[in-house]
């Protein structure tokens, strides 16, 4: 059992392979967070608590004359608002009488074998063979019958601890939830950096690292989706921690809507990190007898830098968050027509593209936007999910049959959550789109958002999708979402419940995705939101891969995929080779480099084969063979960031090493060349130090490659890439 309750000390200790997480219900029933860090033998870490009195730090009534005892300075496991802890809180409510002070006290616990689930929400699950246990600690408000159940999933061998919260209203009054964070970590000592991943459309998940300073630092989204702008994954890192050393704590939030992560550095140099649903526009009514589940946060502690943390996340995301037939299967090499044709295509053109794709060794042809309703640009048609047979010149069934006949699978794009005003659906049901009565709606890419909090809306869209999916042999679906949400107002909910709409929307999204997964278990679903605008662990529970970015430029992708790699494995990152000059940047890169970069993702193409040369076609054939050859190693090996694309180095390198050290593939892109270039070496990782490795007929000692490095070749063309395959002798 990975969870131990020591009754005498009232101490909960949660053990994973490398970490220990500890909390204690003290004499007043306050649940104190005493430790999260490197695994040790049993120890009551409350010896670290400081019995020092601080002015203006009040004490709970029960503490009597113990003025040092203050919730403001003691580390809290789940701090509540309004009762003496002035740092950022985890829970804030408003009672029927308007009071918000909430005082939570220990009221019991339960330890169960296996990992808990959350109804309607994604959650890390234990696979057969995983050791997993659940702890539920119950807290109760001193003034009302509001119960807060803290859930902990301890996945020992995965080194992951999950947290979620169930708030239960057993009182006779209506209570509003104003803020329900999924996790809170209090650190009594230490100097930390906050690592976050920021960006924008076509430039997502850029690495940012700043010192945690006095005050509150935060990232989050209020766009209705996790967003391009900040990712719901953050790291709190000991200052000085790097890839290979130093302590760090990752928190991945399994949620695809509004989120907030806050780091609060207080008057006595303590640091608190909270993460959960963004409280802006969250106002959730709990009637007597009702309960609310927060989404889940998955935490990983590493005492050996980012690399160890990343490896734990990669395994957990791949095996314990992604689900279904494809989670560990090689995904078909695809060709998507989007950048090849945009909206301008005919059935004949598609068939010609597919035929050339098949000839190059592509395995799946994906028909992107523009095949349905009236949709020759992005101004119309969304919501009308019926096939434009005039444009295709045939039925979808016939098109897919012909494509299948070429030996290719067939896939299709949808944007189920959105609606164009110029559509039949909008004419019929204008109230199905989010809009505030009396106000003109905000448009995003000319479109509005359907109210997925409403079951009838979801059912309609689901039925329309199923009709299309059943009309042809469709083995892949791209689920897109191309705007941010505002004008949040549901025509079906009373005023008192409008603050629930955004969360109900996300639950609605998950509901329809779950239904599709159940009904089409053999269909691969790729998530997308204008590229990587909803690249989060919540979506990955339903879609095992997500289109990483609408920026397909190989050089820009280095930064995007680097940032993405901190939490998410290559099997989740949609990456394609596109045409040059690149459509987003105008940059020209060798096609080999584009393939090297896309290979560290799900791998595919997004171009018009008619517009490339015979030599390039030949090269593509070789690339696909190469990808298949290295697939196992790339997808299932350990991923190492050997350099950062933000460094001054002229090369950016990363590596996939077999977990047993038997082989490694090092990919390098020369992203900056200059005359008379200096020699650079790159140090490898994950090899067996005493073993010898062969590469291009030469032999190298593992230790030498790791500790002295491997010299980089001189590039002969701009942005040249190299792949070095080292095999143990
Ligand atoms: C988004 C996606 C693209 C493409 C277009 C189609 O931008 O990210 O890949 O599907 O929509 O409109």
pLDDT digits (tens, 9 = 90+) for 97-156: 999 999 999 999 999 999 999 999 999 999 999 999 999 999 999 999 999 999 999 999
363 in contact with ligand 1, CB cutoff 6 A: no
225 in contact with ligand 1, CB cutoff 6 A: no
Q: Are 329 and 322 in contact (CB under 8 A)?
A: no
- Domain residue ranges of the chain, discontinuous segments joined by +: 3-320, 334-636, 651-728
pLDDT digits (tens, 9 = 90+) for 26-71: 999 999 999 999 999 999 999 999 888 999 999 999 999 999 999 9
530 in contact with ligand 1, CB cutoff 6 A: yes
Quick check: 77 pLDDT over 90?
yes
Write the CA distances from 581 to 341, 407, 553, 588, 615, integer angstroms.
15, 30, 9, 5, 17
Where does the pLDDT of residue 1 fall: very low under 50, low under 70, confident under 90, or very high at 90 and above? confident
Q: Give me the pLDDT at residue 141, please.
A: 98
Q: Which fold has domain 651-728?
A: Immunoglobulin-like (2.60.40)
SS3 content of the chain, % helix, strand, coil (to 5): 20, 35, 45
| Distance (Å) from CA 531 to ligand 1 centroid | 7
Q: What is the arrangement of strands in the sheet containing 31-38, beginning at the earlier edge strand?
A: 3-6, 11-15, 19-25, 31-38
526 in contact with ligand 1, CB cutoff 6 A: no
Of the candidate CATH numbers 3.40.190.10, 3.30.450.20, 2.70.98.60, 3.40.30.10, the domain formed by 3-320 belongs to 2.70.98.60
- Number of other CB atoms surrounding residue 37 within 10 Å: 17
Q: DSSP string covering 297-338, please?
A: EEEEEESBHHHHHHHHHHHHIIIIIS-STTSSSPPPPEEESH
pLDDT digits (tens, 9 = 90+) for 458-496: 999 999 999 999 999 999 999 999 999 999 999 999 999
Q: What is the pTM of this model?
A: 0.98
Rounded Cα–Cα distance for residues 269 and 213 (Å): 9
Rounded Cα–Cα distance for residues 96 and 112 (Å): 35
Rounded Cα–Cα distance for residues 79 and 139 (Å): 11
Strand (E) or helix (H) holding 353: helix 347-360
Mutate which of 412, 528, 548, 604 for ligand 1? The one with the most ligand atoms within 8 Å of its CB, which is 528
Q: Give me the pLDDT at residue 483, please.
A: 98
475 noted as active-site residue: no
Task: From the CA of 378, give the closest atom in ligand 1.
Answer: 12
Strands 418-420, 104-113: pairing is unpaired
Alpha helices in 382-540 (DSSP H): 389-392, 396-405, 424-428, 455-470, 501-519, 537-540
Q: Which is nearest to 558 in space by CA: 589, 527, 580, 536? A: 589
Q: Are 489 and 501 in contact (CB under 8 A)?
A: yes
Q: Are 196 and 173 in contact (CB under 8 A)?
A: no
Write the CA distances from 371 to 192, 337, 389, 583, integer angstroms.
51, 11, 8, 22
Strands 248-254, 192-200: pairing is unpaired
337 in contact with ligand 1, CB cutoff 6 A: no
Among left, alpha and beta (phi > 0; psi -120 to 50; other), residue 629 is alpha
Q: Give me the pLDDT at residue 332, please.
A: 97
* Catalytic site residue from 616, 638, 655, 663: 616
Exposed, middle or buried by CB within 10 Å (0-12, 13-18, 19+), for 105? middle
Write the CA distances from 397 to 178, 179, 382, 390, integer angstroms.
49, 49, 21, 14
Q: Which CATH superfamily is domain 334-636 in?
A: Aldolase class I (3.20.20.70)
Q: Are 320 and 158 in contact (CB under 8 A)?
A: yes
434 in contact with ligand 1, CB cutoff 6 A: no
Cα separation of the two ends of the chain: 41
**Which distant-in-sequence residues (6+ apart) come within 8 Å of 326 by Cβ?**
524, 544, 545
369 in contact with ligand 1, CB cutoff 6 A: yes
Q: Which is nearest to 75 in space by CA: 184, 186, 227? A: 186
Q: To the nearest whole number, what is the mean pLDDT of the chain?
A: 97
Q: Give me the pLDDT at residue 50, please.
A: 82
- From atom 11 of ligand 1, which residue's Cα is the shortest distance away? 530
Q: Which residues of 55-85 are buried (b: 16+ CB within 10 A; e: fewer)?
A: eebbbbeebeeeebbbbbbbbbbbbbbbbbb
Where does the pLDDT of residue 436 fall: very low under 50, low under 70, confident under 90, or very high at 90 and above? very high
pLDDT digits (tens, 9 = 90+) for 628-662: 999 999 999 999 999 999 998 899 999 999 999 99
pLDDT digits (tens, 9 = 90+) for 521-552: 999 999 999 999 999 999 999 999 999 999 99
- Number of other CB atoms surrounding residue 348 within 10 Å: 11
616 noted as active-site residue: yes
Rounded Cα–Cα distance for residues 682 and 404 (Å): 45
Over residues 337-354, mean pLDDT: 98
- From atom 7 of ligand 1, which residue's Cα is the shortest distance away? 530
* Catalytic site residue from 308, 363, 384, 536: 536
- Number of other CB atoms surrounding residue 644 within 10 Å: 16
């Amino acid at each position: 059992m990975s969870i131990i309750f020591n009754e005498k000390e009232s101490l909960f200790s949660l053990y994973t392979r490398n970490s220990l997480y500890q909390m204690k219900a003290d004499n007043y029933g306050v649940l104190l967070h005493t430790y999260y860090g490197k695994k040790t033998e049993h120890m009551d870490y409350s010896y670290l608590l400081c019995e020092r009195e601080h002015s203006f730090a009040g004490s709970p009534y029960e503490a009597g004359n113990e003025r040092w005892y203050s919730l403001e300075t003691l580390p809290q496991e789940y701090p509540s608002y309004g009762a003496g802890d002035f740092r950022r809180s985890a829970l804030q409510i408003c009672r029927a009488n308007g009071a918000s002070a909430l005082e939570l006290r220990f009221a019991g616990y339960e330890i169960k074998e296996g990992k808990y689930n959350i109804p309607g929400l994604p959650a890390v699950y234990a696979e057969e063979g995983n050791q997993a246990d659940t702890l539920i600690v119950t807290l109760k408000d001193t003034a009302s019958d509001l119960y807060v159940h803290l859930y902990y999933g301890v996945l020992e061998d995965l080194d992951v601890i999950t947290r979620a919260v169930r708030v239960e209203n057993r009182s006779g009054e209506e209570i509003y939830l104003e803020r329900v964070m999924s996790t809170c970590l209090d650190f009594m000592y230490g100097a930390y950096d906050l690592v976050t991943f920021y960006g924008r459309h076509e430039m997502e998940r850029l690495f940012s690292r700043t010192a945690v300073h006095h005050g509150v630092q935060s990232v989050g989204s209020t766009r209705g989706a996790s967003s391009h702008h900040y990712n719901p994954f953050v790291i709190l890192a000991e200052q000085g921690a790097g890839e290979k050393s130093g302590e760090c704590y990752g928190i991945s939030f399994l949620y695809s809507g509004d989120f907030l992560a806050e780091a609060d550095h207080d008057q006595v140099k303590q640091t608190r990190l909270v993460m959960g649903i963004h409280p802006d526009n969250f106002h959730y009514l709990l009637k007597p007898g009702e309960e609310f589940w927060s989404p889940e946060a998955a935490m990983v502690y590493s005492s050996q830098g980012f690399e160890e943390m990343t490896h734990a996340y990669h395994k957990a995301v791949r095996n314990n968050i992604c689900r279904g037939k494809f989670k560990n299967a090689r995904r078909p090499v695809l060709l998507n027509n989007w950048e090849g044709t945009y909206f301008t295509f005919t059935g004949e053109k598609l068939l010609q593209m597919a035929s050339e794709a098949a000839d190059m060794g592509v395995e799946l042809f994906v028909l992107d936007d523009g095949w349905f309703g009236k949709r020759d640009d992005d101004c119309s048609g969304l919501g009308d999910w019926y096939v434009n047979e005039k444009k295709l010149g045939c039925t979808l069934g016939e098109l897919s049959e012909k494509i299948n006949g070429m030996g290719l699978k067939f896939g299709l794009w949808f944007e189920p959550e959105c609606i164009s005003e110029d559509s039949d659906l909008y004419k019929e049901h204008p109230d199905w789109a989010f809009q505030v009565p009396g106000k003109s709606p905000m448009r995003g890419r000319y479109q509005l958002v359907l109210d997925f909090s409403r079951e009838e809306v979801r059912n309609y869209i689901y039925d329309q999708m199923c009709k299309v999916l059943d009309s042809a042999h469709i083995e892949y679906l791209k689920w897109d979402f191309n705007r941010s949400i505002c004008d949040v107002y549901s025509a079906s909910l009373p005023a008192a419940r409008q603050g629930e709409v955004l969360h109900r929307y996300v639950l609605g999204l998950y509901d329809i995705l779950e239904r599709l997964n159940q009904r089409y278990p053999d269909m691969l679903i790729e998530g997308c939101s204008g590229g990587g605008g909803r690249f989060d662990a919540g979506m990955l529970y339903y879609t095992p891969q997500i289109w990483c970015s609408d920026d397909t430029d190989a050089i820009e992708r280095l930064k995007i995929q680097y940032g993405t790699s901190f939490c998410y494995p290559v099997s989740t990152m949609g990456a394609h080779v596109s045409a040059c000059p690149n459509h987003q940047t105008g940059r020209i890169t060798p096609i080999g480099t584009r393939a090297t970069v896309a290979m560290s993702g799900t791998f595919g193409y997004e171009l018009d084969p008619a517009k490339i040369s015979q030599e390039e076609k030949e090269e593509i054939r070789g690339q696909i063979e190469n990808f298949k050859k290295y697939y196992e190693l790339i997808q299932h090996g350990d991923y190492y960031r050997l350099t950062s694309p933000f460094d001054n180095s002229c090369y950016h390198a990363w590596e996939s090493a077999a977990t047993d050290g038997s082989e490694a593939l090092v990919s390098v892109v020369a992203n900056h060349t200059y005359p008379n270039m200096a020699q650079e070496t790159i140090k490898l990782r994950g090899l067996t130090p005493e073993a010898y490795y062969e590469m291009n007929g030469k032999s190298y000692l593992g230790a030498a490659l790791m500790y002295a490095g491997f010299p980089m070749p001189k590039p002969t063309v701009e942005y040249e890439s190299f792949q070095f395959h080292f095999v143990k002798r």
